Structure 1
Amino acid sequence: MRPLDENETTQVFEKMFKFTGNNLKNIVDRPSLEGTDTNPGRYCFRMQKNRVFYVSESLVKRATNVKRDKLVSLGTQIGKFTKNGSFHLTIQCLNLLGDNAKHKVWLKPTSEMSFLYGNHVLKGGLGRITENIVPGDGVVVFSMADMPLGFGVAAKSTQDCRKMDPNGIVVLHQADIGEYLRMEDDL
C-alpha cells in the first residue's frame, strides 16, 4: 500500500470534487477516531494494486505488518484506476459522497427499484432536486427517506427539468447499491 502520486491525487480529487464541491475539504481534513485524545489521527488516500482506499493513518501504520501481496483491502475503497489510467469512483464511496454531496436528487418510492436495477433517473420518478444543477455535475441519488441509493451525472439542469416531459432523463446512472447483488458472482 503506497501513497498516491501527484497525478493520481489530482485525478481522485477532481472526480470527488465533481460530487462534493467545496465539501471535499471535510473529507480530506476529517479527524480519525483512532488516534489519541491529544493527537487524533487523520484520514489519507492509499493505493493498493489499482484501487484507491480512504483509510486512517493509524490503520495504515498497523497494516505495515502485513505483506503487500497478502493485503487485499484496507479502509474504504473509493475508486479504481482503469488500465488506460482514468479514475472511476466505486459504490463503496457512497457514504462519503452522500454525507458531503453538493447536488442531490430524491426519488419517488415508485422509481427507486428502477434506479437500483441500473436504469437512469427519469423526470417522472423525481421527488425533489437541489437548485443550481448544471449538466455534467455529479449528483448523489437519495430515497425520500434520505438514504443514499447511488450516484450519477446530471443530464439536464434544474431549470430544464421543470419543463421536460416525464420520460426525459434527468440523471445518468453511474453506480447504485444494487450492484452488490448484480455483481455477486464477480466479487
Structure 2
Amino acid sequence: MRPLAEDETKAVFEKLANYIGKNVVHLVDRQDDAHCFRLHKGRVYYVSEASMRLSISVARPNLLSLGTCLGKFSKSGKFKLHITSLDYLAQYAKYKVWVKPNGEMPFLYGNHVLKAHLGRITEDTPEHQGVVVYSMNDVPLGFGVTSKSTVDTRKLDPTAIVVFHQADVGEYLRDEDTLF
C-alpha cells in the first residue's frame, strides 16, 4: 500500500470532481479524523490515517483491502469509480437525479435512465455531468453521466436516454467476485 503518485492523484480527483465538484475538499479536510488515499494492487482506497498506520504491521501480500475502495486504475492508466464509492458520492453530490419506482429495477439491472423513468433532476445540470441516481425515497441507487442538460431533457421523448449508466448497487450481486 503506497501513497498515490502525482498523476494518479490528479486522475482520481478529476473523476471525483466530475461527480461531487468542489466538495472533494471535504474528503481530504475532515473534522473528525484525517483520511488519505492509498493505492494497493491497482485499486485506490480511502482510509483513515489511524487505520493506515495499523495496516503497516500486515505484510503487503497478505493485505487484501483497507478502508473504502473508491475505484481502480485500468491497464491504460485511466481511473474508474466503483460502486463502493457511492456512499461518498451520494453524501457530497452536486447534481442528482431521482427515478420513479417503475424505473428503479431497470436501472439496478444495468440499464440507462430513460425520460419516462425520470422523476426529478437537479436544476441547471449540464450535459455530460456526473450525477448520483436516487429513488424517489432518497435512497442512492448508483451513478451515471447525463446525456443532455436539464433544459434539453424537458424536450426529449419518453424513450430517450437521460442518464448513461455507470454503476449501480445491483453490482454487489452481479459482480461480487470482481469487486474485491
Distance (Å, rounded) in 2 between the aligned partners of 1:57 and 1:146: 31
1:92, distance to aligned residue in structure 2 (A):
0.2
1:75 is aligned to 2:67: yes
What is the CA–CA distance in structure 2 between the aligned matches of 1:15 and 1:3, rounded to whole Å?
Answer: 18
Matched, 1:51 2:34: no
- With normalisation by structure 1, the TM-score equals 0.93
SS at match of 1:142: strand
User: Structure 1 residue 23: deviation in Å?
Assistant: 1.2
Distance between the aligned counterparts of 1:85 and 1:186, measured in 2? 19
Equivalent residue number for residue 82 of structure 2: 90
The two structures have a TM-score, normalised by structure 2, of: 0.97
> By how many angstroms is 1:184 displaced?
3.3
Paired-residue identity, %: 58
Residue pairs, 1:1-187, within 5 angstroms: 1-32=1-32, 41-186=33-178
Is the CA contact 1:16–1:24 (under 8 Å) kept in the aligned structure 2? yes
Aligned to 1:37: none
Q: Contact 1:31 / 1:43 at 8 angstroms: preserved in 2?
A: no
Q: Which runs of 5+ in 2 are unaligned?
A: none
How far the C-alpha of 1:186 sits from its partner, in A, is: 4.2
Q: Distance in 2 between matches of 1:29 and 1:132?
A: 28
RMSD: 1.0
Q: CA deviation at 1:183?
A: 1.6
User: How far off is 1:185 after superposition?
Assistant: 4.6
- Structure 1 distance, partners of 2:136, 2:67, is 29
Q: For residues 83-141 of structure 1, what are the alpha-carbon distances to aligned partners after superposition, in whole Å with 9 as ceiling and x for unaligned? A: 01000000000000000000100000111000000000000000100011111110100
Q: Which 4+ runs in 1 deviate beyond 4 A?
A: none
Shift of the 12–185 alpha-carbon distance from structure 1 to 2, 3 Å rule, reads closer
Shift of 1:67: 0.1
Shift of 1:31: 3.3
Structure 1 gap ranges (5+): 33-40
AA aligned opposite 1:103: Y
